[in-house]
Amino acid sequence: EQVVVHKTFHRYVVRAKRGGVQSQHDSSGKHAKSAGANIRRSQEAMFREEIKSLIGADWKAEIDQCSCVFIRVPQYNKSVLISGQNPAPFDKDDTRLRTIPFMTFRPTFNEVKRTHNLLSRVEQYDKDFLHVLTKYETKIVESAKEKPKSKSKPKKKKSSPKTEKKSQNMDTKVELVEVEKEVERPIQDEFIQSLSGDNLKLFNEIYTCCMTNNVVKLRQLLNPLMDQENKIDAENYKLKIEKLINKRLNKQNGFTLLHLCSQLGFGECVWELLMNGCDPSIADLSHGKMLPYFVSQNKGLRDLYRRFMHDYPNRYDYGAAKISEPLSYEKMAEKMEKEKEKKKMKKQARKEREAVEKEKLSREQMEENERKLFLSLTDQEKRQLLVDRNFLNLMPVNDKEELDTITKAKYSPQKIRVISRCWYCGVDMSSSVPFEYFDYKFCTTKCLKAHRQHQQEIKNLSHKPK
C-alpha cells in the first residue's frame, strides 16, 4: 500500500477548445506553421522523451520487480510505451502488460491511487444486502426528484386593476421561461456517477469493450444466454441494460457510449448498441448539441445508421436523431458499383497521365542528348551538318541509310533531327526568330555576345607570338 515512486507532469500539446494533439493534426495532411503549433510540436517531443527516460531508465529497477503493469494510453501515444517500429520501455510481447478495465479520469496522483485501490480489492455482497442497496438507491433518486426548489415570495404592492392584469401576464411568462430552463438542465441520474455496486461494474465492462472494440464480449454482456424459465429476468435485464448504455460518461461533453463508438469509428459496436436500445437522438452537452450521427468518424459509419433505419424503421425517433434517409441494400449495391466505376476511371486516367509523362520525359531526354551532341560539334561540322541535311532531304528514302553507313560521322544528319539550334547553347529554335551575325544563329543576345567573346579569345590566342 506504500507508494514507492510517483511523478505527474503535463505539457502544452493540445490547442484549447479544439481537442487532439498536434501530431494528429499534422498526420491528417494539414501542417500548421504558426508559433503555437511549433511550440506544441516541441512540447510533445519533450513529453515523449521525458516519459521514455523516466520509465525506461529511472524507474527500470522498480518496474522489473512488478508482476503486472496496468496502463492507460491513447492510441496515438501507444508507441511511447510499447515498442513497435520505434524502441520503447515495454516490449509488445510483455505478458505483464494490462489495460485498466474501467473508466479513468484526468491522470493525477489521486486518480492513480483511486485506480490502484479499485484494482487491488474485491467487493462481495450478499443477496439481502444487494436488495437493500438497490432500494436505498431508488429512495435517494426519488427524493432528489421530488425535492422542490425554494422560491422567495414577491412583496405585494397596491396597484390598480389594469396594472394587476399586466403583472399577472408577466408572472405567467416568467414561470414559463423558468419551466423551460428546468427541463433543459440535465438530470443527475443521466450520468454514470449515479451508478454503484454491480451496475457500475457492469457499465465499466461495457465501456472497456467499447473502447477496445471487443464486439464478441460486448454482445455477451448485452445479450447473455437466459433460460426459457427466466423470461422475467431476461426482460428486467434488458431494461437495465437499456438504462445503463444511455448514461452520459462525463459532465464536460455529456457523451454517451454511442457518441464514443461513433467518434472512434467502431461500426460493429455502434450496431450492437443500437440493437440493445442506445438512443441515437440523445445529444451531447456541448454548445452545438452534437448527435451521434454527426460525431461519426467517416461516411461509412453514417451509412450504417441509415441501414439500421431501413431495417428497423420504428425502433427510434430518427427525425430527432437527424438521420437523413434510410439506405436500402439495393441503393448500397448501386452506390458501391458507382464507386467501383469511379475507381476504375481514376485508375485509367492515372495510367494515361503516366503514359503522357513518360513520353514527355523520353522526348526531353532525346532533346537533351541531341543538344549535347550539337554542342560537341565544331563550327565547321555544324555547317557541314546543314549541308548534309539539305542533301539528305533531296535524296530518295532508300539511299538515306546508305549515306549514314558511308559517312559514319558523329554529326550524321540522322542522329540530329533538329538543325535550327542556337550555336552557343544548342536550344531548339524551330518556332522562334533567331539573332544572327555572319552565318551564326542564336536564341538570345546573351548567347550571341558570349559566342563573339569566345571567338575573339580564340582569335587572340592564334595571333599571339610563340
**Could you tell me if 289 and 356 lie in one domain?**
no
**Could you tell me if 294 and 397 lie in one domain?**
no
**Could you tell me if 318 and 339 lie in one domain?**
no
pLDDT of residue 100: 85
* Catalytic residue chosen out of the listed positions 22, 85, 263, 297: 22
| Rg (the chain; Cα; Å) | 40
Segments forming the whole domain that contains residue 206: 191-327
Does residue 91 sit within a domain?
yes
**Could you tell me if 211 and 297 lie in one domain?**
yes
**Could you tell me if 362 and 410 lie in one domain?**
yes
**Could you tell me if 322 and 446 lie in one domain?**
no
Q: Which of 284, 301, 327 is the last residue of a domain?
A: 327
**Could you tell me if 195 and 297 lie in one domain?**
yes
Q: Which of 276, 299, 327 is the last residue of a domain?
A: 327
Q: Which of 119, 149, 180 is the last residue of a domain?
A: 119
**Whole-angstrom Cα distance, residue 403 to residue 46?**
74
Does residue 30 sit within a domain?
yes
DSSP per-residue string spanning 383-419? HHHHHHHHHHHHS-SHHHHHHHHHH--TT-TTT-S--
Does residue 127 sit within a domain?
no
**Whole-angstrom Cα distance, residue 442 to residue 360?**
25
Q: Please, what are the averages of pLDDT over each run of 10 residues along the chain (466 residues)?
A: 79 72 73 79 80 79 83 76 73 82 82 84 65 52 51 48 48 39 49 81 89 89 69 77 87 87 90 90 86 88 90 89 86 86 92 92 85 80 68 51 46 58 84 83 90 86 69
Q: Tell me the residue ranges of DSSP E strands in 243-318.
A: none
**Could you tell me if 349 and 254 lie in one domain?**
no
**Could you tell me if 363 and 255 lie in one domain?**
no
Number of structural domains the chain divides into: 3
**Domain with 213 in it: what CATH number?**
1.25.40
Does residue 405 sit within a domain?
yes
This prediction has a pTM of 0.40
Does residue 437 sit within a domain?
yes
pLDDT of residue 173: 41
Does residue 152 sit within a domain?
no
Q: How many helices (H) and strands (E) does the chain have?
A: 19, 4
**Could you tell me if 84 and 46 lie in one domain?**
yes
Does residue 298 sit within a domain?
yes
**Whole-angstrom Cα distance, residue 320 to residue 326?**
14
Per the annotation, the verdict on 456 as an active-site residue is no
Q: Is the dihedral of CA 25, 26, 31, 34 positive or negative?
A: positive
pLDDT of residue 182: 38
**Could you tell me if 341 and 414 lie in one domain?**
yes
Burial group, residue 265, by CB count within 10 angstroms (0-12, 13-18, 19+): middle
Does residue 279 sit within a domain?
yes
